[in-house]
Structure 1
């Protein structure tokens, strides 16, 4: 039972790290799109 619990904990940690990386990737994508929009606005004016 102990091994099973350790396995589930490791799995949970892995999923948490994946969620964090996915969030960071999405955040960087949002920042990139914002930067692009700002560049386009600057070019338009």
Structure 2
């Protein structure tokens, strides 16, 4: 697995950390899930 560094606005970082804690997963896992879902949706849009 590759490591990537992101710069996020404070508000987005806070939201990510709260959501990850709520779901009892890491921020990294939450970001991976979000990116995977976003890219899958983009693929579906291209098929239309």
Question: 2:26 matched to 1:24?
Answer: no
Q: Who wins on radius of gyration, i.e. which is larger?
A: 1
Higher helix share: 1
Moved over 6 A (4+): none
Please, what TM-score do these two structures have when normalized by structure 2?
0.48
Gaps of 5+ in 2: 1-20
TM-score by length of 1: 0.51
Q: Which of 1 and 2 has higher RCO (CA within 8 Å, sep 6+)? A: 2
Give 1:25-44 correspondences, 5 Å limit: 25-41=32-48
For these two proteins, the number of residue pairs brought into alignment is 25
- The Cα RMSD (Å) is 1.6
Structure 1: unaligned runs, 5 residues or longer: 1-15
